[in-house]
């Protein structure tokens, strides 16, 4: 005797309706996740920008402290004890009276601006206006990002940080 197989509803697999429902649910989840990923990525870039600005500004302040103590020779009075450019912080300077001619470096390298993906920064000297976007060239008193995009806070722009 031959047995006939009976087909249960559970043996039939996915129906077109179930497959469509699965695709719709996955699409909704993707639409929710995409803005979250964008927000998280931008927030991470903002953290990197804050870190890079802090690193450069600390190096400028350290150079200034050394110069005020007379440890760095100032040949140009217009420098006001600040570095002439960012490259000086990387290349280093020889301390006054140091016979070994070793150089003190304040930065290992100029950090990248994560917003512009460039190593170029906006510079301000002590003689520039606080909101100036043109560098006078006398010295480097402050740095800022060249990105004019609005920050996540919705109020400030990255070049104002």
DSSP string, 26-52: HHHHHHHHHHHHHHHHHHHHHHHHHHH
For residues 123-133, give the mean pLDDT: 88
Q: List Cα–Cα distances, 137 to 61, 79, 116, in angstroms.
A: 18, 9, 22
More confidently predicted of 136 and 60: 60
Higher pLDDT, 157 or 32: 157
Q: Average pLDDT of the chain?
A: 88
% of the chain exceeding 90 in pLDDT:
52
Which helix (H) or strand (E) covers residue 17, if one does?
helix 16-68
Residue 12 has pLDDT above 70, yes or no: no
- Structural domain spans, the chain: 17-160
What was the pLDDT predicted at 137?
83
- pLDDT tens track for 81-125: 999 999 999 999 988 887 788 899 999 999 999 999 999 999 999
> In this predicted model, which residue has the larger pLDDT, 109 or 138?
109
Q: Is 161 exposed, middle or buried (0-12, 13-18, 19+ CB in 10 A)?
A: middle
The three-class DSSP label of residue 63 is helix
Residues 59/91, Cβ–Cβ less than 8 Å: no
* Of residues 136, 101, 115, 139, the one with CA closest to residue 50: 115
d(CA 135, CA 143): 10
Model-wide pTM > 0.85: no
């Amino acid at each position: 005797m031959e047995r006939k197989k009976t087909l249960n509803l559970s043996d039939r697999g996915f129906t077109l309706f179930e497959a469509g429902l699965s695709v719709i649910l996955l699409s909704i989840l993707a639409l929710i996740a995409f803005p979250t990923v964008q927000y998280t990525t931008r927030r991470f870039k903002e953290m990197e920008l804050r870190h890079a600005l802090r690193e450069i500004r600390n190096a400028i302040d350290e150079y200034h402290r050394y110069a005020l103590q007379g440890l760095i020779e100032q040949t140009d009075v217009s420098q006001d004890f600040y570095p002439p450019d960012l490259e000086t912080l990387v290349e280093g300077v020889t301390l006054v009276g140091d016979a070994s001619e070793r150089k003190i470096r304040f930065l290992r390298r100029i950090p990248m601006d994560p917003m512009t993906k460039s190593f170029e920064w906006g510079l301000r000297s002590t003689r520039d206006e606080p909101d100036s976007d043109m560098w006078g060239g006398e010295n480097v008193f402050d740095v800022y990002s060249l990105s004019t995009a609005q920050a996540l806070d919705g109020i400030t722009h990255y070049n104002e940080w």
